[in-house]
Structure 1
């Protein structure tokens, strides 16, 4: 899985969670389970399947426990649940997730709108969740939202994000994810934040979450890979967004990311044809168009 630079990447499929949460149409539990089954069949090994949030606020994520109960359990596939607070963690642990992804927001205004607390309280929540997750033996990721810019506050200084990284790292996460929640980041920011993460959290796995809102997501992903071993989030078909962030459109697409990684010398283990077929299927279920380009252009060589 090495590139020319020697870095290694693996893909985290977030379509069943981030890909669906901002779509107009809410899918049934059975359809969401089938989506995840298709992703597994395509070779994806880490899949963010559900979000343990209030279904009144995010109705697309209702029935998280039912989804988890219906999933096929395989030794080499990890199912990830996103949590925002300790109640969400209670639900995630009871549902038997393999990993928890905890969101810590880097701007007070977005944190208040998204989680009902400021950044300081969000960090305190993270610390309590991290302690409990570690005691439960569950792999834990801290995702730092709006690390590249906030839809309400504007620029988020890198120094602020790195300060939050440092605080998060003190609680011993297995992985820290840096998220461009609204798709405003550019490679220069990736390099600056990546250097900060390496400095304040040595030995902690790196993960990156990019949106392609302004057509910079794939450049950012390849820049992150150039910095060293990492995980890269993507969504089948390029679906996704945040219901609490205006104009936060599309994640980078799994099929397009796979093409770039494979052509760059990274063996992903992902079946590109199955991913494209799944994107077409889920697009019909959502009554929403695929934004990925590979399904239109086709692979190369053919």
Structure 2
């Protein structure tokens, strides 16, 4: 029998098995062939607003909660979806706990308080339990939060997005028809640089930008009543809005009661809606509602 020798240096007959063009540009395939999901709306929800910061620690979840509460205070049927799988904040902000029940259609029934329907990963895991998951499990959980919740008739649903511009944000913008996005930042150059990344992400995926909210914009001294710019001048926020053609929706002052009330499960729009801080949240909600043609506000 004749012996056969195999060489590791042998050339393959098919040097380009996938048929990629040699020019370097990938072929433009239809959406379905690329495997991208088709955008769809959420049944029972008229408008969907995403609140994003692209950076953690700027008060995005607090803004989201108070925005939803301001909508409800104006007579709208509002909901809040916490899409942060690893660090959910909505259970603490609303003082809610317990596992959601299932409807007859095998969908999760949101937990409600203060007239707001809410859903969060924090209802499905123990408060002290870390979510130690890889990307595939995270995406599966996100799919369930997006498409397996029975909202049953909302005028507006606020999405509290996690920090960053990665998988979760792309999945949401590719799968949902978003009516607009609100960017949250502090008047600090470090935070604004990340906020600009969020702005450019939404522009890239063709999501309308409703404007920017300046959080912790100034501290009003209780003794002398003068305003101190702790995180930076408000003019820096205004400059960035002009550069990127964004509307400045409002400025939320730095005040200890905003944090204290949130930790107690009573956000500002519940604890002190008539305060200057509450009025600032209400003004932002009015501008967003007008941009979305929500006539109840």
TM-score by length of 1: 0.37
Higher helix share: 1
TM-score by length of 2: 0.37
Greater Rg over alpha carbons, structure: 2
